[in-house]
Every structure is written in structure tokens, then in C-alpha cells.
Amino acid sequence: MSRTNLVGTLPAALEDLAGSLGASRYRGRQVATWIYRKGVVDLDAMTDLPRDFRARLAETAEATLPEVERATSSQDGSRKLVFRLADGARVSSVLMPDDGRITLCLSTQVGCGYACAFCLTGTMGLERNLTAAEIVGQLMAANALLATEGPERVTHIVFMGMGEPLANYANLVTALKILTDARLGLSYSPKRVTVSTVGLVPAIDRLGREDLKVNLAVSLHAASDDVRSRLMPVNKAFDVEALMAAVRRYPLTTRQRVFFEYVLLDGINDSPEEAQRLAKLLRGVKSKVNLIPFNDWEGSSHRRPPLARILAFQAILLDAGITTTVRWSKGEDIGAACGQLKEPAVA
């Protein structure tokens, strides 16, 4: 019988577990504090827990993080962490330092089932969802790695790695609750956590009802159904109009905006006309557009537009009053840039 992984377990569930073992709920809160506040996953090191309670706990549960099989550094300072999971599957996270912040790009699935035309991960297909323990564990392992090098830890979290976060909804929400629990969890401010989606409309609405106050990022990549359906098969299920209606329904705090990711592809979605359509589509939406020049990968038929066309596209959006940045992806030289993540399973 497999043991419960305490990592990825909600603090309230840890309290319930302590009670089921004949201890007070307070012991569960202590376990949560050791794991999430102190980063300790060795039960024997939880020295303020009674020895007999630790022994009973160890019979049914464990606290384990995914194994960092490889950490590869980029010339730009980012690092790709490849995790080997218990079943031999591999996923990647990317650490990206920038101007005093350290952002971690997290994965939520092994592979991805949405087959966006410009994304290498989509060529894997979907192998399986990650558990909440495997999602939270990526962050805790990254923080443990940073702790060996100094006092720094991850400051911002983006769910933009392998997989579609909202397609692994229950485990994503459990992870988000642990990340943002200020009392017994990892204590990240929701404004520093961003969940990206290809546009799963019912799940966007559902996430809004959770009242987690995390940021929403939408992988848009085209302003018309014709172009978007060619690039993103999901658009045939949830078209641009339905997606934008869900975006408008998503609850935002006073300072929040919805982020729109837009990979620029040479000759596909980078024309002035497309920029004007995008500006019209986003009129009245509290938004920020991140233009991502395509990151090449072997076998892709797409190319990055020339710099002049990238800047002209940005200028049209800026002239329309839309906050727009060109996001030059980090880690391109190590296969860690946006759309480049793919890890083979262990043979």
C-alpha cells in the first residue's frame, strides 16, 4: 500500500490526519509548519513532535520531493531543473532571476494534450496529470536548491511550464491553496502567482469562483477564430468570443490585470492587421500583452518574425493604449524557453 505524501497535503487535511492517528489537531499544524514554513521533509527532524506520533505517522505517510535529476544553467542566468518523478516520468521547471526577483515556471502535467502548433511540449501528447505533491514539490525543491547558495528563494510563481494547468484542476487548486496559505502554507501573495491557460472557459469561470485572487494569463496568440483555430485546436471548442466573455467575468482586484500571451510567428499572426484586430479585441479589458517572439525547436515549421515587425506590432498596441511588452524568453540556449519544454520518459 502506497503511503500518503504529506507534501501537497492541505494543512487542514494534515490536522485531520493527526486526529486519525490519535493525536491532537495541533500536531497536524506542527507538521504543516515543518514542511511548508521550514522546508523540512525528514520526519525524524521534526523534533517537537512526540516520537510515538512520528512513528505512527511514518507507517502511513512520508514527505518527499521530486528528485532534481539535472540542473542546467543558461548564459542569461536562468536554470532548467529536470525532475525525475517516482514512476520515471520527467518534467521541467525553470528558475528565472530578473531585477531582484526570482520567478519559477512550474509544470502541471507530464506532456500536454492541447497540441498548439508552435509548442514543443504539445508534441508529447498528454501522459498524465501531476499530483499536488509533484506540483508543490517542484517549488520546494527549487527553494531548497536556492537555500544551498544563499538566502534567496523563489519570489514569483507562474504556471506556464509543461501541461495545461486548468486541465489538472483539482490538483492545481490544492497546490494554489498551499502556496497562498499565509498561516500554515508557503505564504506566497496571490498577486505573485499566475495561472496560464489555453482558454478552457468553464475552468476559468470555476477558478474565478474559488476566490483565490491569483493572476490569470491567457494564451491567446491570435485575435480571430480563423488564425487561432489553425494554431490552437482548443479554439474549436471555446472560440475567441467565448474566451473573452470568460475573461471579462474573471474577478480582478483593483490593481490586477489579465495577462495575454501572444507568440509571434513569422507570416502567421504578426501583421499590422492582426495587431489592430488584437487592439480592438482587448478594448475595455484590464490587460497586459506579453509578445513572445517564437522560440525555435527542431522540427517546427514556424519562424520568428524579424525584429522590425515585432516592434511594429508592439507599437500598434501601445498606440491603442494597451500595455505591451516584448518578452524575450530566458533559457533558449538550454531548451528552457517558452514552448521548448519537453522531457523523455526514463527507459
Identify the pLDDT of residue 184. Answer: 97
Per-residue pLDDT of the chain (347 residues; tens, 9 = 90+): 578 999 999 999 999 999 999 999 999 999 999 999 999 999 999 999 999 999 999 999 999 999 999 999 988 889 999 999 999 999 999 999 988 899 999 999 999 999 998 988 888 899 999 999 999 999 999 999 999 998 899 999 999 999 999 999 999 999 999 999 999 999 999 999 999 999 999 999 999 999 999 999 999 999 999 999 999 999 999 999 999 999 999 999 999 999 999 999 999 999 999 999 999 999 999 999 999 999 887 878 899 999 999 999 999 999 999 999 998 865 555 454 554 455 655 44
Identify the pLDDT of residue 62. Answer: 96
Identify the pLDDT of residue 341. Answer: 52
Q: Is-contact 66 57, C-beta < 8 A?
A: no
* Beta-bridge partners for 112: 125
Strands (E), the chain: 4-5, 61-62, 67-73, 79-84, 90-98, 101-105, 109-112, 125-129, 156-159, 193-197, 215-219, 258-264, 287-293, 323-326
67-334 — its CATH code?
Answer: 3.20.20.70
Identify the pLDDT of residue 298. Answer: 80
φ/ψ (deg, to 5) at 84: -100, 120
CA distance 293 to 276: 18
Give the residue range(s) of CATH 3.20.20.70 domains in the chain: 67-334
Identify the pLDDT of residue 347. Answer: 45
4-62 — its CATH code?
Answer: 1.10.150.530
Give the residue range(s) of CATH 1.10.150.530 domains in the chain: 4-62
Q: Is-contact 108 159, C-beta < 8 A?
A: yes
- State the SS3 of 222-279: CCCHHHHHHHCHHHHCCCHHHHHHHHHHCCCCCCCCEEEEEEECCCCCCCHHHHHHHH
In 3D space, the residue among 217, 133, 129 whose CA is nearest the CA of residue 175 turns out to be 133
Identify the pLDDT of residue 338. Answer: 54
The whole-model pTM stands at: 0.93
Identify the pLDDT of residue 170. Answer: 98
Identify the pLDDT of residue 121. Answer: 81
- How many residues can be counted in the chain? 347
